[in-house]
Amino acid sequence: MTVAAEPESTPFVTDDEGVDALTIGRRIRQVRTARGMTLEELAAAVSRAPSQLSMIENGRREPKLTQLQAIARALGTTLEALLEAEPLDERSAMEIALERAMSGQTFRTLGIAPFRIGRSVPDGVLRAMLALQGEIDRLKDERSATPEEARRANLDLRRLMRTQSNYFPELEAQARAILDAVGHPGGPLTQRTASDIAAHLGFTLHYVPDLPTTTRSVADLRNGRLYLSSSLTAKGDSRTAVLQALSSRILGHAEPTSYAEFLRQRVEANYLTGALLIPGAHAVPVLQDAKKERSISIEDLRDVYSVSYETAAHRFTNLATVHLGIPVHFLKVHESGTITKAYENDDVNFPTDRLGSIEGQMCCRKWTSREVFDIPDRFNPYYQYTDTGSGTYWCTARVQNSSEGAHSVSVGVRFDDTKWFLGRDTTNRGVSKHASEVCCRRAPAELEDAWRGSSWPNVATPRTLLATLPTGAFPGIDATDVYEFLQAHAPA
C-alpha cells in the first residue's frame, strides 16, 4: 500500500462555536465505529497511515480541510456532519473532558503526565478522575479565598490605584463612548438615560419583589433581562444599581477565576458607574472652577449630580490628583471603628496589618472618621484638622446609615492643599498617633492598671472572624437561589 505524503496546506481552522480538533477527532471515531470500520480500513480508504488517522482521532493533529473531506466521503457522511456542534455520546464527551484536564494547570501542578485514554479504560474510571479533578479545583478556589489571600489581593489592587492616582483612562474612555452612544448631552445622568444605556446594551429592566437576598441585581444574559429589587423604585433612585449591573457587560467581564480578579472587576465596575453618573468631561471643568474660587466641596459635587455622598467622594479621588494636582485620601469607617475602605496617595500613614493592608484595621479615635460619629449635627458636613507624626491633614466627613450599621465617609488632604476647600476655616482640631501601637489599640496606662484585672467583657465576635470568605466565582452569592430565580422569571 502506498501512503501519500502529508501535503503542505493550511490546517483546518475551528469556528467560534467551540468545534476543535479534539471534538472533530472524537466524532470521526464515533462515526467510524458506528459504521463497523477499523482504523486501518479508514486509513487505506483515504491513503493515509493508520498512525496519522490515530493522531487525528485523538486530537493531537489538526486535520486539513482536504483530509476532512476525504474522511467524510470514506465514512459515507458529510463534512458538515463531522463539524456539527451537537453533543457527542457520553463516553466521547468524558474522554474529551479528561484530555483537556490533562493539558490543564491542575494536572501539571500535580506532576501527572498525560496518558492515552484507551477503550479499555472503564467509564467509571473516567467519571471518577473527572470528579477528583473538579474537587481539586474547588478546594484550590476555596484556599484562594482565605482572608489572608483576600487581603493580599486587595493590597495589590490598592497599590495599583495609588500608582495611577486612582485614575483609569481606559475606563474614562469607556464611559465617554457609552454616553456618546446614547446621545447624553452632558451634565448629570438622568434615570431615563440609565434606561437608554440598558436598551443600547440589549437589556430590558424588570423590578421584582423577590430578588435573591445575596444580590443587588441579576442579569439574564440569555434573554436580555436585568432584574432589580422593586424597593429601589420606592427609594427614588435606581440609577446606581442599574449602571453597576451594566458596567460588567460594558467591560466584557468573564466569570472571575480568582478572588483578585473578582476584586478587580468590582473596582472597575464601580469606577465606570461613577464615571457615568459624574461624567469627567463635565465634572472636571466644574471642579477646576471650584479650585480657582477656593471652594471645592464634596457636598456640592454630590448635589450637582444627584448622587450619594460616597459616590461623590469616590469620584473626587478619581479626578483630584490627575486634573487638579491635589493628592488625597479616602476612608470609609464602620461605627465600630473598623476601616472598611481606604485609598491614599498623600502620604497619610494609616495603621496596617503585617501584610500592609489598611482595611480591617481600627481607625484612630481622634481621626475625623471616628470623631464625626459623636457630632449630633448630621445635616452639615464635619471638618477637622488632625496633627499626625507625618504632618497635619484636613478632612471632611459625613455619616451614612445602611443595613450593616452606620459608616462614616471622609475625604482628606494635606494641610497645604486645604486652601482649595470649603470648610478650611474650621476650629476643630485633633492629634492622632494612628500609626503607633499605643494609639487607640491599647488603653492608656492608668486605665489599664485600674481595670485590667477587674473586668470581663463578653466579646461580640464578628461572624466572619473564624470563617473563610465565601467561595465560588461570585463570593457571597447563593448560586442555587439565583438559578431558581432566573428559572422562575424566564419568559415562556
Domain containing residue 179: CATH number: 1.10.10.2910
Q: Residue 149 — pLDDT band, cuts 50, 70, 90?
A: confident
Q: Are residues 271 and 294 in the same domain?
A: no
Q: How confident is the model at residue 164, as a pLDDT?
A: 94
User: Which residues lie across from 388 on neighbouring strands?
Assistant: 391
**Most confident stretch, 45-59, 87-101, 136-150:** 45-59
Average pLDDT over residues 441-454: 72
Average pLDDT over residues 315-332: 97
Whether 116 is covered by a domain: the verdict is no
Q: Are residues 271 and 320 in the same domain?
A: no
Q: Are residues 45 and 191 in the same domain?
A: no
* pTM of the model as a whole: 0.68
DSSP three-state, residue 258: coil
User: 194 pLDDT exceeds 80?
Assistant: yes
- Nearest to 424, CA basis, from 389, 393, 379: 393
**Most confident stretch, 52-56, 97-101, 242-246, 352-356:** 242-246
- Single out the residue in 63, 88, 113 at which a domain terminates: 88
Q: Are residues 302 and 438 in the same domain?
A: yes
Higher confidence at residue 355 or residue 337? 337
CA pseudo-torsion sign 71, 72, 76, 81: positive
- Single out the residue in 227, 246, 277 at which a domain terminates: 277
User: 264 pLDDT exceeds 70?
Assistant: yes
Q: Residue 51 — pLDDT band, cuts 50, 70, 90?
A: confident
Q: How confident is the model at residue 145, as a pLDDT?
A: 54
Burial of 305 (0-12, 13-18, 19+ CB in 10 A): buried
- Measured N-to-C along each axis, helices 169-181 and 259-277 cross at an angle, to the nearest 10 degrees, of 50
Whether 100 is covered by a domain: the verdict is no
- The CATH code of the domain that includes 387 is 3.30.450.20
Helical (H) or strand (E) element with 471: none
Q: Are residues 307 and 443 in the same domain?
A: yes
Whether 421 is covered by a domain: the verdict is yes
Q: Residue 25 — pLDDT band, cuts 50, 70, 90?
A: confident
Please give the grid coordinates belonging to residue 173: 474612555
Whether 420 is covered by a domain: the verdict is yes
Q: Residue 361 — pLDDT band, cuts 50, 70, 90?
A: confident
- Measured N-to-C along each axis, helices 239-250 and 191-200 cross at an angle, to the nearest 10 degrees, of 30
Strand 225-229 versus strand 204-208 pairing type: parallel
Whether 364 is covered by a domain: the verdict is yes
Q: Are residues 361 and 217 in the same domain?
A: no
Q: How confident is the model at residue 234, as a pLDDT?
A: 56
Q: How confident is the model at residue 440, as a pLDDT?
A: 61
DSSP tag of 362: B
Q: How confident is the model at residue 220, as a pLDDT?
A: 92
Q: Are residues 299 and 437 in the same domain?
A: yes
DSSP tag of 278: S
Report long-range pairs for 169-174 (Cβ below 8 Å, ≥24 apart): 171/251, 171/268, 171/271, 171/272, 171/275, 172/275, 172/280, 174/250, 174/251, 174/272, 174/275
Contact between 419 and 373 under an 8 Å Cβ cutoff? The reply is no
Where is average pLDDT lowest: 36-50, 106-120, 200-214? 106-120
Residue 315 to residue 319: CA distance in whole angstroms: 7
- Single out the residue in 72, 88, 104 at which a domain terminates: 88
pLDDT in tens, 404-446: 789 999 999 999 999 999 999 999 999 987 655 555 666 677 7
Q: How confident is the model at residue 101, as a pLDDT?
A: 82
User: 459 pLDDT exceeds 60?
Assistant: no
Q: Are residues 263 and 358 in the same domain?
A: no
Contact between 281 and 371 under an 8 Å Cβ cutoff? The reply is no
Q: Are residues 273 and 312 in the same domain?
A: no
Whether 137 is covered by a domain: the verdict is no
Q: Are residues 367 and 260 in the same domain?
A: no
Q: Are residues 12 and 37 in the same domain?
A: yes
Q: How confident is the model at residue 408, as a pLDDT?
A: 95
User: 225 pLDDT exceeds 90?
Assistant: yes
Helical (H) or strand (E) element with 197: helix 191-200
Q: Are residues 305 and 438 in the same domain?
A: yes
Please give the grid coordinates belonging to residue 210: 423577590
Distances (CA, A) of 234 to 193, 228, 229: 19, 12, 10
Whether 177 is covered by a domain: the verdict is yes
- The CATH code of the domain that includes 12 is 1.10.260.40
**Number of Cα atoms under 13 Å in the Cβ half of residue 398:** 16
Contact between 332 and 397 under an 8 Å Cβ cutoff? The reply is no
Sheet containing strand 405-414, edge to edge, reads 339-344, 329-334, 405-414, 391-402, 382-388, 429-431
Where is average pLDDT lowest: 122-131, 228-237, 366-375, 381-390? 228-237
**Domain hosting residue 345, numbered range:** 290-451
Average pLDDT over residues 15-23: 59
Contact between 149 and 255 under an 8 Å Cβ cutoff? The reply is no
Residue 92 to residue 27: CA distance in whole angstroms: 8
Where is average pLDDT lowest: 94-98, 251-255, 299-303, 460-464? 460-464
Whether 139 is covered by a domain: the verdict is no
> How many domains does the chain divide into?
3
Where is average pLDDT lowest: 3-17, 96-110, 383-397, 444-458? 3-17
